[in-house]
Amino acid sequence: MKTAEQTLRALLEEQTASGVLGPGAKLPAERELVEKLAAPRSAIRRALERLERDGFVIRQVGRGTFLTEAADHHFSGAAPDTSPAEIMQVRLTIEPPIAALAARLANQADLDRITGFLRAGERCDSFETFEAQDSGLHRAIAQAAHNGLLMSMFDMMSTARALPVWGSLKRRTSTPERRASYREGHARVVTALADRDPAGAETAMRAHLRDVSDDLLGDN
């Protein structure tokens, strides 16, 4: 039996493929999804939270839930043609300045959410659970910049990170020692954010991503 999340993802895949939904499209309200998918509201809410964490929807208080460009590419099967090297080049280009912006603009709720992902990542033992928290932390930092255009760019990059070639490389190069090193890098970024230190956040994020790039691609 499918979970509410699986059923919702199948619905989004069907409607993006048929053209019913596209980037920026508003999803039905929670109560409508409860009726349409015959699932408890709590399960629908958890499914939407997971989709938001994966960068496939944006939830705006008082307005609703909207499909991202990343979701359109993901569910329609139109994945970008790219490589891990190109992904890291883009990450190193946009994520350090995003961290600097977040250090200036993040509110306390943003910082609490970011810290939540950091703490959850510290408790993860497996590759899968750590990757989930890692992805959530980086996206939460991007959200804390409060810039819709940057968020769209970030979500497009996240779509590329969902490609099998990226996941396979991450899995092959992942070790407990490297995950521990990434946790330390995350902690330095979060400390700079909490200190409202844009230069420190940018420097810490760039250093962290260079470590990831060296581990994945070699020291280049």
pLDDT given for residue 140 in this prediction = 92
Q: Cα 36 to the chain's mean position, in Å? A: 27
Q: In the structure, what pLDDT confidence band is assigned to residue 88 with cuts at 50, 70 and 90?
A: very high
| Residue located via tokens 């490297």 | 178
| Span 68-72, average pLDDT | 71
Query: What is the value of pTM for the model shown?
Result: 0.69
CB 202 within 8 A of CB 96: yes
pLDDT given for residue 18 in this prediction = 73
Q: pLDDT at residue 77 above 60? A: no
Alpha helices in the chain (DSSP H): 4-17, 30-37, 41-53, 69-76, 84-105, 108-122, 127-143, 148-161, 164-173, 176-194, 198-217
- Which domains are seen in the chain, by residue range? 4-76 (1.10.10.10), 84-217 (1.20.120.530)
Mean pLDDT across the chain, nearest whole number? 87
Q: In the structure, what pLDDT confidence band is assigned to residue 81 with cuts at 50, 70 and 90?
A: low
189-207 in b/e form (b: 16+ CB < 10 A) is bbebbeeebbebbbbbbbe
CB atoms within 10 A of CB 123: 9
Q: pLDDT at residue 208 above 90? A: yes
